[in-house]
Amino acid sequence: MRGCRGGCGTGCAGCGPASRWVRIPAAILLIAGAGLSILPFFGLWMLPLGLLLLAEDVPLLQRLRNHVLEWIERRRPHWFGDRPNATKALAGSDSENARPAPRR
């Protein structure tokens, strides 16, 4: 697998420095579109997407994005697929993950 110029290691075309001139205007348009959230197509979903795109090129936003992702990974590791006892929990053999019996 050959790595891309952006360093993500997947060989994609969207991570290189040349893509910066596409990402920044797209991010600004998404953030501005979030301000028009009262219109049907536009919405607040555009704000985090624009900030994530902008975070690829702005170091301050990169640190903030990394901090938020690390916090989410600590709080909800299953969102990232990090469940060490996933097969045991599915089989029901792990008493730690077992549900208590319902009260009657």
Q: What is the pLDDT of residues 77-101, one digit of tens each?
A: 888 886 655 555 555 545 555 566 6
Residue 97: CB atoms within 10 A of its CB come to: 14
Indicate whether 103 belongs to any domain.
Answer: no
Residues 13 and 62 in one domain: no
For residue 14, tell me if it sits in a domain. Answer: yes
pLDDT digits (tens, 9 = 90+) for 37-55: 888 878 888 999 999 999 9
Looking at the structure, do residues 42 and 1 belong to the same domain, yes or no? yes
81: Cα separation from own chain's centroid:
13
Is 99 contained in some domain? Answer: no
Interior/surface letters 25-50, b for 16+ CB within 10 angstroms, e for the rest: eebeebbebbeeeeeeeeeeebbeeb
Number of continuous H segments (helices) and E segments (strands) in the chain: 4, 0
Is residue 18 domain-shared with residue 69, that is, in the same domain? Answer: no
pLDDT given for residue 62 in this prediction: 93
Q: Please tell me the least confidently modeled range out of 42-46, 57-61, 62-66, 67-71.
A: 42-46
Query: What three-state secondary structure class fits 25?
Result: helix
| 24 and 49 housed in the same domain | yes
Domain that holds residue 80: 58-93
Domain count, the chain: 2
Whether 46 and 8 share a structural domain: yes
Same domain, 1 and 14: yes
